[in-house]
Structure formats: C-alpha cells, structure tokens
A and B are shown apart, each in its own frame.
Chain A
Amino acid sequence: MKSKTDFPNINQKKAEGMSPDGVPFRVLVVDDSMFVTKQITQILNSEGFEVVATACDGGEGVEKYKELYPNLDLVTMDITMPKMDGVTALEKIIEFDADAKVIMISALGKQDLVKKSLLLGAKNYIVKPLDRKKVLERLLMALK
C-alpha cells in the first residue's frame, strides 16, 4: 500500500479562506435572495471561509454586524434589497466601524450605485451572476 507521502500534494494547497495562522475568515452574507446567499455560502465554504451569519435585508445586516463585531472579517452586501437597501446599510456599517470590509454584490446596470458604495467606503464589488473565481479574487483582495 502506498503511504500518503507517495502522492503529490494536491491537498496541500492552502485553503484561501483562512488567515495565515489557519483561522477561517468570518463572513456575514447580506442578501434578500436565499438563492444568492446559498450560492455565496457554497463558494466561501469550499475555500474554508466561515459564513457566520446571513441577513436578508439591510436593516438585519446592520444589526447582525453590530452583534458580531468585532468577530467578523468581511461582509458581502447585496445592493437591491427590500426595507433597507445595501447602500444605506453600508453607510450605517461604515458609520459604526470605519474599517469594516464590505463587498457589494450588484447586478448589471447598477454602476451608479456601485460607484456610490465605493465612495462611501465599500472595499470592492462583485457583479452578478456570480463567478466563483471572481468572487474569491475580490474577497481576498479586500482582506489583503
């Protein structure tokens, strides 16, 4: 029987969702679409991130952020949501924690809102439909 060392180290690639000391990055996903939430969670979990909470509108997102703070590293925030939209929620989060790392999730055609969010302090943005590679790339960029 072959021992483990005989195999090339496919699995030794470090999961990207972990900080250098091996602790998973903690993410709050705010999206009104259960479907998108699930998708993001799938992507993140596959890379070792930990989705610590989800919220389905801006207000809930802000609340959860305050609740979890400072035990979270990243927020993904949908722009169009009922009750409180993502841009307003972003504003509130930044107001509460100026260093908050918020990534906006936007559908095509929302350039103006994405720009507004970036100017308000969002760290990056992702355009729907979500693409695994892009999502990871942009999240990690914000964590750098």
Chain B
Amino acid sequence: MSDYLDPNNEELLNDFFEEAQLQIDLLEQNILVLEDRYDDKDAVDELFRAAHTLKGAAATVQMNELAEFTHSLEDVLDMVRSGDIVVDEQGVDVFLSAIDIIKAMIESREEGNVYQDSDIADVKKDLVMIMKGNFSKPATKSAKTTQVAASKPAKIPQAKALPTASKQQTRITDEYEYLELFEIGGKDKTIYEIIVKFNEDTLMNTVGGIQVYTILKRVGTVLKTEPDFEDLNEDIFHPEVIYYIASTEDLDVIEDQLDISDVITSSEILVLEKDGFPADQDDGYNSGAEVFESDDEVEEVFQDDDETDETPVVAVKKKSEPKAPKAAKVSTSILRVESRRIDNLLNMVSESVINKSTINRISTDLAETLAEIQTFSSNFEYELRSFVDTIPDLLRQLDGSANQKDLLAKYRDRFDGIFSELHLYENNFKKNITDLKNTAQKLSINTGNLQEGIMKIRMVPVSNIFSRFPRLVRDLSHSLSKKVNLVLEGEDTELDKSVIEDLLDPLIHCVRNSVDHGIEQPDVRRSAGKPDEGTVVLKASNEGSMIIIEIVDDGAGINKERVKRKAIEKGLIKPDVSISDNDVYNLLFLPGFSTADNVTDVSGRGVGMDVVKTQIEKLKGSITVTSTEGQGTKFSIRLPLTLSIIQGLLVKVGSEIYSIPVTNVVDSHRVSPGDINFVDNYEVFNVREEVIFVVRLHKLFNIPSYEESTHKYIVIVSSGDKKMGLVVDALIGEEDVVIKPLKDDFSNTPGIAGATILGDGKVSLIVDVSRLLELGATKHMESKREMETKLNV
C-alpha cells in the first residue's frame, strides 16, 4: 500500500491493537446499553463511531478481514442509526456475536495469523437478516449497494453527454440559455465554460463534482453546472461535469486552481464570447465515429471496475496478499499514562537535580577543605618538628634561667595561628555537615515522591477490567435464565497494571460463582420474598496501602451445613470436630471442593475457588468469604497497591537480616525466654489471652543464632485469619524494600518471597508470611496426626 507503512512497523501495530481493544470495549458497552433501551440514540451513535474507527484503523494496517467485517457491521448500524431498523433482543445477540468475531480476528492477528472461520459467514448472514427482516426501504443506505448504484446510473449522464462537441465549441445548445449566462454573470467578468472529466478510480469518486465546485467558487461565481448542483450533491459518480462560471481571473489562474491530478483526469476551459454562440449546433450531435470511440473507452473502464471495485475494501485486499504468518506474538503491553503524571515526575526529577548540585557543591567544598588540611598538616608537622628540634636549645635556655614568661609567649604566638586555622576547618566541616544533612533529608523526601510518582505511572483504574463484566453477567444470566443486575462501584480505584492483569481471572471466577450459585431462579427468589432480579455488586475501594475488591450478591448464601457435610464426605475434616463459621467458609478454598450437586459449564467442577485463592495469594493478597444464609454472600479480596515495592520490617536473625512485609505484621513483643511456653511439644506465646504458635526463624532457616541473649523479640504476623509468632534476635526498623525476585534454583525456597538490597549493599531475604503460615500449619497438622497415631497404638 503506502511505502511508509511497513507491516513490520511494530510500534504502529501495537498502537493499533491497543486502540482496537478500546473500540471493542466501547462496542460492547454500548450494545449492552442498547439492550436496556433499544432506542438509545447516543449508544447507537457511539456504536457506529466505534465500528467506523475500527474499520478505518483495520484497513490501514491491512487487516482486511476485519475491515470488511466491521464494514458490514457498520452498514447495519447505520441503518439502526437512521431509524430504518429497530434493534431487538435477537439483534443484540447478533451484534454481540459479531463482536466476538472481531475479538477473535484481532487475537489471531496478534498471534501472527489471519482469522479464518466459517462463523463469519453465519454472523454476516444474521447481520443481513437484520437488515432485511425489519427493513422496508430499498437498501441504498448500505455502502455496498451504493457502489453498484454509483457505477450504473453513471452511464446515463454519459449517454446524455454523447453529443460531444468538437473542441473549442460550447456544449450549450440553446441560444437563450447561452445569453442568460452573460446576463447573470455581469458585464465586466469573463464567462468560462469548464469541462471536467473525473477519475472514477479515486476513493470517494462522487465527491469530485462538489470539490471542483468549491474550488471554482473561490475564483468566481458559479452560474450553472451540468448536471446541476442538486445532482452533484447526490451520491452518484458523474464522469464529466460542465461548469459555467463568471470570473475576473485569468484563464491561467483558473487552470492552476484545477490542478487536482488524482481526482480529475482532464479539464478543458473555454472562454465564451457574448456573441459567439455557434450558428449550426446540429453538427455537434453527429460528430460521428470519434464520439463512439470515446464511449467505448468509457465502457471498458466500467468493465474493469466491475471486476475490481465491488467494495472498496475488497479493492484494498487485492493489493495485499496474505503475508507469511509472523511467528512471534506481538506484545501489547502498553501503558497509557496521563501526561499530568509524567509532568509531576519531571518536577521531582528537576528537584533531585537541584539536590545533586547541592551535593556536588558540598563535595567540592569538602575536597577544598581536605586540600587545606593537607597543607595545614604538613605545616603543622614542620612546625612541630622544628619545635622538637628546638627542645635541647630550649632546655639550655631554661637552664640558663631565661625568662619563662617570655619563652611561653613566644611559643604561644608561634602556635596560635595554627589553632585558629584549626577552628576555621572545624567550622567549615560543621557547615558542610549541616548542608549535607539538609540535602539528605530533601533527597529522601524527593526519592519518596519519585517512587510514588513512578508507581502512579503503573496505576490503572480497575474499570479496565470491570468493564468486561456487564457482558459476562449478561451472557451468564441468559444462559441460566436468571435475572441479574450487575452494579459496579469504585471503578476509578487504581491498581498496579501487573496486578490488574492477573486479577481478571480470579474476579471472573468469583462473579460467575455469585451468578451461578448465589443468585437463585426468579421463582425461588419470589417465594423468598426477594425481588425477581438478583443483584451482584462488584466494588473496589482503597484502604491504606491496600485495595479491597468485593463481590457481593443477594442470593441464597452459603449453606454451612451442606459445606460441612461435603467436607466430611470428602474426608477434608473429621465428623466430630466443631469448627468456626470462618473455617467452614475457608473449606470452600480447598482443592477439589464443590457443593454444586450438578456440574454446569459455568462452575462447579471444583477447580475453582482454590485456584482463585492461589492466584490472589500470588499477588500478595488474600481472599475471604462471609455469608448469611438466605441473604447473600460476600467475597472480599485484599490486594497490595503494587507488587514491586513493599514496606518491610527489618529483623536480625543471627548475623542475617530478614525483611518481613509490614502488611503482614500485627505487632511485636520483647520477650524473655520464660515467656515462651510449651504446649503439645510446640512453642506458644500468650498475647492478650490468645495463644499463638511460635516459630524460631533461625531454626527454620538453619542459621546459628550465637546471640543467646536474655531477650528475644517475637513478631506476630498474619495472613488471612491465621496468625503466628516469629522469634528473631533483634528488630532493626521499617524500610521501603524493592522486591527482587529470586531466580532459578532459589525460586522455590519455601518461606522466602524474594530478596532486596539494603542501603549498605547487604542482601536481605524477604519472608513469605502466607507461605510460612501454611508450612507451619501443615507441619502442625502432620505432627499432630503422628502424635495421635502414636497414642492410638
């Protein structure tokens, strides 16, 4: 196509995919709006615009299959827009499946393939059905038919123009008409007759007539056109148009203006003389062979066009043969960032540049001081040496009972200068140290801001993923014949992009669960005194450095007894154990657990909630569920804002320093060895009437803890609703730590989430609290079981 558009222009392609996704989201959202109100005009306009934009973009990156498909979608939407057809439920379904195809097309392109599937034909047929089914007027609105219409009637004016005059002769056949031109044109103006032949091969070939009209209007007054203005304004291609204008400009100027080479094939300008109307017009009608020849040429052109120009999109297709599929999937991880955020960052960077120059100044100051001290010290050395040299002499002088006072004064004078110099240096140092302290303070504020600013860049609103749910819930409720109203809240809440991407699947699962298991059938709801329509709320909110996402439904709630029964059946718990409500709910997250009696394709295969849980935990988050029977269920997901930087509590274990994520830390205690008790062979610790199971980190990680000091520290950590105490040698303090993932062989070390580099360059391992709790718990269980079997034997 065009030379600059290299199909390997990845930057452009990435932009395209990004934008396509936006448009698809728009399409989907608005179709769902349309489903509620079939006559929502704004939604239709938006839909049309999105389809249109998508089509344009697709054609540019030579995604012809998509361009063609969206084109037919656009046709239908156009008819909806003009009110020719009305969308009904069936229509919405067809639109949605059309969007699915568009998605599939984009997906396969991203993978480097071209989408080829028979679905297209089916959906296209449906689209056409919509057009025909409710359609009364002739289909002139569709661009496809317009094209046909454009090329056929086009021959008629040609036939009219058949009596072509030989050159330099006016086409006007009526003398009265001829004279009328001079009448309206005005006396002091030249009347021109301009015959323009248009190129049919340009895109939008029907626009040319008007384009020339507007150009000529700039140089003079357009008196008359043939065919007349109304016809030019119709969507019909006229191969030849004659303009009559009155102008004061020279012929050259007009000719120059008409230089629109790709639209016009030729133009001919005649100057009409007032009394120059040819007497024998009849000649014009019979100029014979020449005329027919030219007509043949035109015929040929038309035939050509019939082959190539069915629709504009097909024409494009011809030029670009499908390329060899690209092997690598084009990565589309592009972040859209508000420019304000980057401006902020720039501000901070300039601040840090100022800090840098302050530090530079301090360091030059210090270097100068050092040089001065060096000269001073060599001076001092010299003075001292010469003083030592004078000692024997001095002693002799003292022996000779010289005046002690005089001597003292002499030497004081000698060393006073040196002392005052020393004072100067001291002051210099003091000043530099104050400066340095100030700058360090500024720098720490500055880097803090910078860190926050950069984190903000990675923040995207959750609406990015929330926007997929209306469609999901709609489809789901249809297939389950339930009535569900999805409410989205807090869509502006922002989360790190990497978190958001991994959050989608777990969220989908939870929402599906709510719709499938939570919300009851309308008749069941009615008899329970609830409205037919169930409500599912998907809500995001901020809480400190955590994001809370809640999925709340007003459905049947969780039947605790059934959960317990199921758990016993599956051997997950013992029948006689009494467990708390919370623990009952947590059973749902165990692998292989499902209370659904029938496996549907929506959920209930038991591969669900445990996967959700592991995924959330991978994101350093936690998930809990609460429920009231008969009233509904609430899933709460807590997530850290970002994964890459956490607040860590630095603790000392032996000679090593470990970081414990502050979000997991409940509190810490200074304890003497006596405070730790033994229960069942386990070390436990009592905090406010709660017994907490204790683990010594140095034992866990096999570190010699040589400091058998009298006091230890216990850091109480929690994840979800489990708690545990970690025994460490000392607490160092809180610090922001940047998590570096551990590679290869170390990546599976249980209990270690990663490493970080401390201010002094030392490496500190980050404790993975949730994993540790799991380990502790399973160990606990195992040994308990062992004990029990021992006792039984």
Pick from A10-18, A59-67, A130-138 the stretch touching chain B: A130-138
Contact between chains at A80 and B52 (CB < 8 Å): yes
Max chain A Cβ within 10 angstroms of own Cβ: one of B204, B213, B233, B260:
B204
**Interface size range of chain B in the complex:** 35 or more
Interchain CA distance A133-B4 in the complex, whole Å = 10
Query: Which chain B residues (127-169) contact chain A, with CB distance < 8 Å?
Result: 143, 146
A94 contacts B by Cβ under 8 Å: no
Contact between chains at B207 and A114 (CB < 8 Å): yes
B686 contacts A by Cβ under 8 Å: no
What are the interface flags for A1-40 relative to B under an 8 Å C-beta threshold, 1 for contact and 0 otherwise? 0000000000000000000000000000000111110110
Contact between chains at A108 and B312 (CB < 8 Å): yes
Q: Given A125-B211, A129-B60, A130-B60, A108 and B203 touching (CB < 8 A)?
A: yes
A43 contacts B by Cβ under 8 Å: yes
B312: chain A residues within 8 A (beta carbon): 108
Query: Which chain B residues (244-281) contact chain A, with CB distance < 8 Å?
Result: 259-262
B283 contacts A by Cβ under 8 Å: no
A52 contacts B by Cβ under 8 Å: no
A137: chain B residues within 8 A (beta carbon): 261-262
Looking at chain B's contact residues, is the secondary structure mostly helix, strand, loop, or mixed?
helix
B49 contacts A by Cβ under 8 Å: yes
B33: chain A residues within 8 A (beta carbon): none
Q: Given A46-B4, A129-B59, A131-B1, A108 and B19 touching (CB < 8 A)?
A: no
A46: chain B residues within 8 A (beta carbon): 4
Contact between chains at A118 and B12 (CB < 8 Å): no
Max chain B Cβ within 10 angstroms of own Cβ: one of A32, A39, A43, A81:
A39
Interchain CA distance A66-B116 in the complex, whole Å = 49
Q: Given A80-B52, A106-B204, A114-B204, A38 and B12 touching (CB < 8 A)?
A: yes
B399 contacts A by Cβ under 8 Å: no
Max chain B Cβ within 10 angstroms of own Cβ: one of A34, A43, A111, A119:
A111
Q: Given A115-B210, A129-B1, A129-B316, A108 and B143 touching (CB < 8 A)?
A: yes
B715 contacts A by Cβ under 8 Å: no
Query: Which chain A residues (82-139) contact chain B, with CB distance < 8 Å?
Result: 82, 106-112, 114-115, 118-119, 121-122, 124-125, 127-134, 137
Q: Which residue of A lies closest to B13 (CB)?
A: A35
- Taking a contact as CB atoms closer than 8 A, the residue among A107, A118, A121, A133 that contacts B2 in the complex is A133
- Taking a contact as CB atoms closer than 8 A, the residue among A111, A124, A127 that contacts B235 in the complex is A111
Q: Given A42-B4, A129-B316, A115 and B57 touching (CB < 8 A)?
A: no
Q: Which residue of A lies closest to B59 (CB)?
A: A129
Query: Which chain B residues (1-27) contact chain A, with CB distance < 8 Å?
Result: 1-5, 12, 15-16, 19
Contact between chains at A34 and B59 (CB < 8 Å): no
Contact between chains at B211 and A35 (CB < 8 Å): no
A108: chain B residues within 8 A (beta carbon): 143, 203-204, 312
Q: Which residue of A lies closest to B233 (CB)?
A: A115
Interchain CA distance A107-B78 in the complex, whole Å = 14
Q: Which residue of B lies closest to A133 (CB)?
A: B2
Contact between chains at A33 and B57 (CB < 8 Å): yes
Q: Given A108-B312, A118-B214, A132-B2, A33 and B19 touching (CB < 8 A)?
A: yes
Minimum Cβ distance to chain B for residue A137 (Å): 7
Contact between chains at A34 and B4 (CB < 8 Å): no
Contact between chains at A111 and B204 (CB < 8 Å): yes
Interchain CA distance A114-B206 in the complex, whole Å = 10
Minimum Cβ distance to chain B for residue A43 (Å): 6
Contact between chains at A130 and B2 (CB < 8 Å): yes
What are the interface flags for B34-77 relative to A under an 8 Å C-beta threshold, 1 for contact and 0 otherwise? 00000000000010010011011101100000000000001000
Contact between chains at A111 and B206 (CB < 8 Å): yes
Interchain CA distance A127-B204 in the complex, whole Å = 7
Interchain CA distance A20-B262 in the complex, whole Å = 24
What are the interface flags for B665-707 relative to A under an 8 Å C-beta threshold, 1 for contact and 0 otherwise? 0000000000000000000000000000000000000000000
Max chain A Cβ within 10 angstroms of own Cβ: one of B15, B203, B233:
B203
A82: chain B residues within 8 A (beta carbon): 46, 49
Q: Which residue of B lies closest to A115 (CB)?
A: B210
Minimum Cβ distance to chain B for residue A118 (Å): 4
Q: Given A36-B56, A130-B60, A131-B1, A112 and B235 touching (CB < 8 A)?
A: yes
Contact between chains at A80 and B53 (CB < 8 Å): yes
Q: Which residue of B lies closest to A118 (CB)?
A: B214
Contact between chains at A107 and B56 (CB < 8 Å): yes
Q: Given A111-B204, A112-B235, A131 and B15 touching (CB < 8 A)?
A: no
Could you pull out 22 A-B pairs where Cβ atoms are within 8 angstroms? A33-B19, A33-B57, A34-B19, A35-B15, A35-B16, A35-B57, A36-B60, A38-B12, A80-B53, A82-B46, A82-B49, A106-B204, A107-B52, A109-B143, A111-B207, A114-B210, A118-B214, A127-B204, A130-B2, A131-B2, A132-B2, A137-B262
Q: Which residues of A line the B interface, CB within 8 A?
A: 32-36, 38-39, 42-43, 46, 80-82, 106-112, 114-115, 118-119, 121-122, 124-125, 127-134, 137, 141
User: With A108-B143, A121-B214 given, can you name 9 additional A-B contacts, CB distance below 8 Å?
Assistant: A35-B16, A38-B12, A82-B46, A107-B56, A108-B204, A109-B146, A111-B204, A111-B206, A137-B261
Question: Which 4 pairs, one residue from A and one from B, show the smallest C-beta to C-beta distance?
Answer: A127-B203, A129-B60, A129-B59, A115-B210
